Amino acid sequence: MPQLVFTDYGPQIVWLVITFVVLFLLLSKLVLPSIARTLGERDQQLQGDIARAEKLKAEAESTLAAYRQAIGEARAAAQAEIKQASETMAAEASRREGELAAFFAEKSKAVETGIVEAKTRAIADLKNVAGEAARELVTRLVGVAPAARDVTEAVEAVGRERA
């Protein structure tokens, strides 16, 4: 095995150092700067993206706060309009209820007046019917027709006794 030959160690170490130096120079001058540049660009891009994301996050939070405020104002305005509409409807209902109550009171009064008039007419008609029936009965029983004034007085006398 050549690794175990001690006389070959010197040239192997020299070539090892030369190869190491050449590879080191190639890597440090050609490859590592481009890697460092790429890493730097990526770092700058990441920092820019993070800054942009923070800026967008702040804008989103301010937009969300404005949205919530607008929603709150809209709700307050809607509740105020609903309250005003309900008060208006309650006032209108109260007014209509008053008109309806007045209308029914007037109709009730007119109906009561009509009932009283109808009752008065019915009682008067009842007296006339009673008088005619009494006259007819007396005529059939006795055979002589009584005077209209006598029949009217008799019906009125009976009406006063019952009242």
Cα–Cα distance for residue pair 100/108, rounded to 1 Å? 12
Q: For the chain, where are the alpha helices, taking DSSP H only?
A: 9-26, 32-142, 148-162
pLDDT score of 77? 96
How far, in whole angstroms, is CA 24 from its chain's centroid? 78
Return all residues near 86 (Cβ < 8 A) that are at least 6 apart: none
**In this structure, which amino acid lies at residue 82?**
I
pLDDT score of 122? 85
Q: What predicted TM-score, i.e. pTM, was given to this entire model? A: 0.44
Return all residues near 106 (Cβ < 8 A) that are at least 6 apart: none
Domain locations in the chain as residue ranges: 8-162
Written as tens digits, the pLDDT of the chain (163 aa) is: 566 777 777 888 898 999 999 999 999 899 999 999 999 999 999 999 999 999 999 999 999 999 999 999 999 999 999 999 999 999 999 999 999 999 999 999 999 999 999 988 887 787 788 888 888 888 888 888 888 787 788 878 877 777 6
Cα–Cα distance for residue pair 112/104, rounded to 1 Å? 12
Closest CA relative to residue 148, chosen from 126, 130, 121: 130
